[in-house]
Amino acid sequence: MKHLIIYATFIGLIFSSCNQQDNAKVSSESFQNEVSAFLEDYNKKYQELMIVSSEAAWKLNTMIMEGDTITSKQAEIADEAMAEFTGSVENIEKSRTYLKKKDELTKLQVKQLEAILYSAGSNPQVAADVVKQNIKASTEQTKKLFGHKYTINNKEVSPNQIDSILRSSKNLQDRLQAWQASKEVGKELKDGLANLRDLRNKSVQALDYKDYFNYQVSDYGMTTKEMVELNNQMVKDIWPLYREIHTWARYNLAAKYNKEVPDMIPAHWLPNRWGQDWTAMVNVEGLDLDKVLGEKSPEWIVKEGEKFYKSMGFDALPETFYTKSSLYPLPDSVNYKKNNHASAWHMNNAEDVRSLMSVEANTEWWETTLHELGHIYYYMEYSNSDVPIVLRGGANRAYHEAMGSLMGLASLQKPFLQGLNLIGEDVKTDDTQLLLKEALNYVILIPWASGVMTQFEKGLYSDDLPKDEFNKSWWSIKRKYQGIVPPTERGEEYCDAATKTHINNDPAQYYDYALSYILLFQLHDHISKNILKQDPHATNYYGNKEVGEFIKNLMYPGASVDWRAHLQENLGSGLSAKPMLAYFEPLMVYLKDVNKDRIYTLPESF
């Protein structure tokens, strides 16, 4: 009898254990189903509101009319509705509650919940009044920035005309007037930037972020300190080469303008309003793309860009891309303006993709068009059934820029251009000058993006930089990181930082570009050596389906993967500047020889 009782008790315990396991399984499945239902509803509502918000923002950026208050009001209403939803207390609390039991969820569910909380960070309804003020202030700042009338000698000019003067004119007085004209808008934007800084900080602080800069870098899974250290390391890595380029530029520009060699480069001597791209300083004999492309039409530039992607196996652009985008400069006959900064738009995180550009038939717009189409094709690839609406973004923000910049680099390499008959098969070019021209784009950007922009915005948001020191700080940072100084004294009535569009409407994220350049050289190195089996300096991606497949695999999962693991899986390494440094090593040897009897004015090490 005793054995029977023990046996019965044992059997009872087994059944009890099985019942507990079954109940736990049912409970876990029920929990997952609850989370799935929440995410399905959230994604659907998010997309509905996104469409309205995107359309309003599109109109605000493509039809800027003096005295028009209706368009900006519609944009505010749409943004407020989106903010109210993404920042709602209910969505925040539900996501937080679900994430407490994330071990019972799928990785995709966890990713979506984390994305929902991140989206809430800039629009928390616990700070609804601040959010509303922020939206209104952002809309007003956009109108002022892109509605500004640029004038030289009391005659209105376009940003493209200013850029043309800075790229090609040898008359320093004309250059100075063009440069100064490009900075006048900063006066109108300074108060707005200070106000936006305060509102952005207050908004994210409501969800326990230290400040807006800290909020933005958290998207990489990093702290402010880690991001700043990473960017300073990138500047440190590239500094010896940048120092050689800076020395070469000082002497070449002084000779061009028949002036004494300056210790630091006056800003108006450079071919770019912000000193972020110096490529126009070098014309490679036999590679006069501006002349060849000038015989084409802007429409040809865009269509040829699409053909390049299709040659690698990508789909054709949807017809709506051409009917709904704003691709070319506005005719003089219209009574409105548009945002003059090239951008790609994913209107509904699905099939509606557009671009806002002002394409002209020249080399700069050739590269820019290929870059923007890189964003468009990234949108199209991750808009698939495996990637939820809220995760349709880059693996990180730098991934998006890297995809565009990778194609920009590929589109200017000699074999590629020969394949398109843009230069002759037998054309002779100076490969060292070609490499120098590339460095004046990619290398020059690192101190600008990792240094100037990152340091200024870190100071703006994290260190509460006083408004009456905006310009002083800006030029102090530019001198340290770029060796660039203003042509004349720039007092605090100016706000030269605010003339850069990103500081107003894409804030605290400019390090994305620096990270993307490091990433693009890793991708290009892999494609060149492992797929094409070609010299990284002389490649032709055109028509190679294996290259297309590699890029598609990078694009397909969007933000549904961990970017570090994704990079390791596809490249076999983490983020590294080594491929970029190796690419430009031949240039370093050349510049050291050119500069051997010259005086260096930047410190030897950063």
Residue 506 is given by DSSP the state S
Residue 198 has pLDDT above 70, yes or no: yes
Q: Please give the mean pLDDT across all residues of the chain.
A: 94
pLDDT value at residue 544 = 97
In tens, the pLDDT along 554-603 reads 999 999 999 999 999 999 998 999 999 999 999 999 999 999 999 999 99
Apex 227 CA angle, 226 and 228, nearest 5: 95
Residue 297 is given by DSSP the state -
Cβ(346)–Cβ(374) under 8 Å? Answer: no
Q: How many CA atoms lie within 13 A of 184 on its CB side?
A: 18
Residue 18 has pLDDT above 70, yes or no: no
* H or E segment and range at residue 257: helix 224-257
β-pair partners for 266: 485
In tens, the pLDDT along 406-434 reads 999 999 999 999 999 998 888 888 999 99
Question: What whole-number distance in Å separates Cα of residue 260 and Cα of residue 265?
Answer: 11
- Binning pLDDT at 50, 70 and 90, where does residue 26 land? low
Cβ(319)–Cβ(463) under 8 Å? Answer: no
Question: What whole-number distance in Å separates Cα of residue 305 and Cα of residue 569?
Answer: 29
Question: What whole-number distance in Å separates Cα of residue 606 and Cα of residue 598?
Answer: 20
Residue 492 has pLDDT above 90, yes or no: yes
**Dihedral (Cα; 272, 275, 280, 284), 10-degree rounding:** -170
In tens, the pLDDT along 419-475 reads 999 988 888 889 999 999 999 999 999 999 999 999 999 999 999 999 999 999 999
Question: What whole-number distance in Å separates Cα of residue 108 and Cα of residue 496?
Answer: 43
In tens, the pLDDT along 364-373 reads 899 999 999 9
In tens, the pLDDT along 52-110 reads 999 999 999 999 998 888 998 999 999 999 999 999 999 999 999 999 999 999 999 99
In tens, the pLDDT along 287-326 reads 788 889 999 999 999 999 999 999 999 999 999 999 999 9
Residue 27 has pLDDT above 70, yes or no: yes
Q: What is the mean pLDDT of residues 493-521?
A: 96
Residue 13 has pLDDT above 80, yes or no: no
**Dihedral (Cα; 220, 224, 230, 233), 10-degree rounding:** 170
C-alpha distances out from residue 132 to 5, 68, 81, 89, 215, Å: 71, 20, 10, 16, 19
pLDDT value at residue 340 = 82
Residue 21 has pLDDT above 60, yes or no: no
| Three-class DSSP labels, 329-391 | CCCCCCCCECCCCCEEEECCCCCCEEEECCCCCCHHHHHHHHHHHHHHHHHHHHCCCCCCHHH
Q: Which of 514, 512, 499 is nearest to 273 (CA)?
A: 499
Give SS3 for 25.
Answer: helix
pLDDT value at residue 253 = 98
What is the percent of the chain with per-residue pLDDT over 90, rounded to a whole number? 89
Give SS3 for 208.
Answer: coil
pLDDT value at residue 289 = 86
CA–chain centroid gap for 283, Å, is 27
Question: What whole-number distance in Å separates Cα of residue 173 and Cα of residue 363?
Answer: 26
Cβ(354)–Cβ(324) under 8 Å? Answer: yes
Owner of token pair 């709602």: 88
Q: How far apart are the first and last CA of the chain?
A: 86
pLDDT value at residue 300 = 97
Give SS3 for 151.
Answer: strand
Cβ(444)–Cβ(277) under 8 Å? Answer: yes
pLDDT value at residue 290 = 87
Residue 10 has pLDDT above 60, yes or no: no
Confidence (pTM): 0.87
Residue 20 has pLDDT above 60, yes or no: no
Residue 8 has pLDDT above 70, yes or no: no
In tens, the pLDDT along 328-351 reads 999 989 999 998 889 999 999 999
Apex 517 CA angle, 50 and 572, nearest 5: 95
In tens, the pLDDT along 245-290 reads 999 999 999 999 999 999 999 999 999 999 999 999 998 887 788 8
What is the percent of the chain with per-residue pLDDT over 70, rounded to a whole number? 96
Residue 353 has pLDDT above 80, yes or no: yes
Question: What whole-number distance in Å separates Cα of residue 235 and Cα of residue 582?
Answer: 16
Residue 67 is given by DSSP the state T
Cβ(162)–Cβ(178) under 8 Å? Answer: yes
Question: What whole-number distance in Å separates Cα of residue 39 and Cα of residue 28?
Answer: 16
- As a 3-state breakdown, the chain gives helix, strand, coil percent values, each rounded to 5, of 65, 5, 30
Question: What whole-number distance in Å separates Cα of residue 322 and Cα of residue 325?
Answer: 6
